[in-house]
Amino acid sequence: MTEKEKMIAGLLYCADDAELVEARKTARLVFEEYNKTSITNIERRTKLIKQLFGKTGKNIYIEPSFKCDYGFNIEVGENFYANFDCVFLDVCKISIGDNCFVAAQVAICTATHPIAAKERSSGVEYGKPVAIGNDCWIGAHATINPGVTLGNGVVVGSGSVVTKNFGDNVVIAGNPARVIREIDNGRT
């Protein structure tokens, strides 16, 4: 397997691999241009983000600045919105459903490192995919950690650190995040 194939599969890989270094450089060139493109040129911004991401819905809008590792491992559904200064570390797939909103300064991280110091110091790393269902809202300054799956209709409170999976229609908050309440879709 190539280092890229290992990375996408969630296996230990060497991030200094030439193909991966080039892929990160390519992503940076795209998101740097995206972040500099004027709000008056929405068509260009949309084209750039669709070029960067692996898959998008028709309607997508991300406020600058936005940063990611590769871009090709990010899939977002229809009517996706992300506010200012979000970071998506996509060494593995990040999949986000339809009608999702991501507030300012949210980090979605698939990248992680070995716990053992000797192995970590060797330079290898790995990732765990993140999946977020439809109709989710991630509050400002939240962090979604590697390997997390969130169901449909989940609301993540501002500043939360999400370290485990949660099912549908819950409000979660805290560090680590826990269920605050279930959502009755008939009320706010």
Active site residues: 113
Cβ–Cβ contacts within 10 Å for residue 117, how many?
8
Structure tokens at 110: 């698939």
Q: What is the DSSP string of 120-187?
A: HHTTEEEE--EEE-SS-EE-TT-EE-TT-EE-TT-EE-TT-EE-S-B-SSEEEEETTEEEEEE--TT-
CA separation for the pair 162, 134 (Å, rounded) = 17
CA separation for the pair 77, 135 (Å, rounded) = 10
CA separation for the pair 142, 150 (Å, rounded) = 13
Structure tokens at 69: 């590792």
CA separation for the pair 90, 28 (Å, rounded) = 13
